[in-house]
Amino acid sequence: MRILFLGDVVGKSGRRLVTETLKEFRLKYHVDFVVVNGDNAAHGFGLSLSVCRELFDCGADVITSGNHGWIAKEIQPILDQENRLLRPANYPDGTIGKGAGLYTLADGRKVGVIHLQGRVYMDAIENPFHVAKRWLEYVKLGKDVQAIVVDVHAEATSEKMALGQYLDGSVSLVVGSHTHIPTADAQILPKGTGYLTDAGMCGCFDSVIGMNKTEPIHRFLTNLACEKYSPEKGDATVCGVMVDTNDATGLCEKIYMIRYGGRLQESLPPL
């Protein structure tokens, strides 16, 4: 199975490039399943109903979020209804929405996706290691599903790497989101799990993590907020990761960094 994960979509420029190119990318590279992180997709902060529709219509099978994406009041009514929209699984019991799901492809193969949020420098919610392990007691790779994708929305690289090592062999891919900067450590871990510390963002890199650079620089210089952050509107780069998995075991056999458009050096798999 070939699975594509796209990092945090940031604002209109990132959203436009994803929506204009994802369908063609899926066809060109024979992608079976797509997960898109939409945490900053609407105006650089959160998700809206219209943005969700755009991302689903262009080829996303699942949209993950993070610490922003599902907070907006507009999106909350559909969190309990739309199985393809996930918030982090380690929020407390009773929180609206779902943190994991099982999805069936047209050919009958199944994919599990679990979305986790880190705790280092972030909210002190439930331990993501424990939540992932409990879910994996009921969803077995290579038996119940042909692949499992884990989106770890976290600040600390150490926390993401520790989760990758902890889940090695029990999932197909552990990929980090949230920091908006693509890391260069795409690898297959010793027991067969694909891993990348952060997929980066789908947004404009002539910016400060996707935002117009004027206000962030002002805040660093003065420690004072002058205006709200706003997404940069320049040419975007799509960043992500793609893996090929073995349907019998669910483990990763190949992993590819994905970058195209905008100002970052292009990285694409062979045709």
38-61 per-residue burial string, b: 16 or more CB within 10 A, e: under 16: bbbbbbbbbbeeebbebbbebbbb
Handedness of CA 231, 232, 233, 239 (dihedral sign): negative
Q: DSSP string of 96-161?
A: SS-SEEEEE-TTS-EEEEEEEE--TTS---S-HHHHHHHHHTTS-BTTTBSEEEEEEE-S-HHHHH
DSSP state of 266: P
Measuring CA to CA, which residue among 252, 233, 232 is closest to residue 243?
A: 252
Exactly one of 30, 43, 68, 130 is catalytic; which is it? 68
Residue 13 backbone class (left: φ over 0; alpha: ψ -120 to 50; beta: rest): alpha
Residue 209 C-alpha from the chain's centroid = 15
Angle between the N-to-C axes of helices 128-136 and 157-167, in degrees from 0 to 180, rounded to the nearest 10: 20
Asked whether 47 and 75 are in contact (CB, 8 A), the reply is: yes
Largest CA distance in the chain: 57
Q: Own/partner pairs for 94-102, CB < 8 Å, 24+ apart?
A: 96/70, 97/70, 99/131, 100/135, 100/139, 101/62, 102/139, 102/144, 102/145
Residue the block writes with tokens 């392990």? 133
Indicate if 68 belongs to the active site. yes
Catalytic site residues?
68
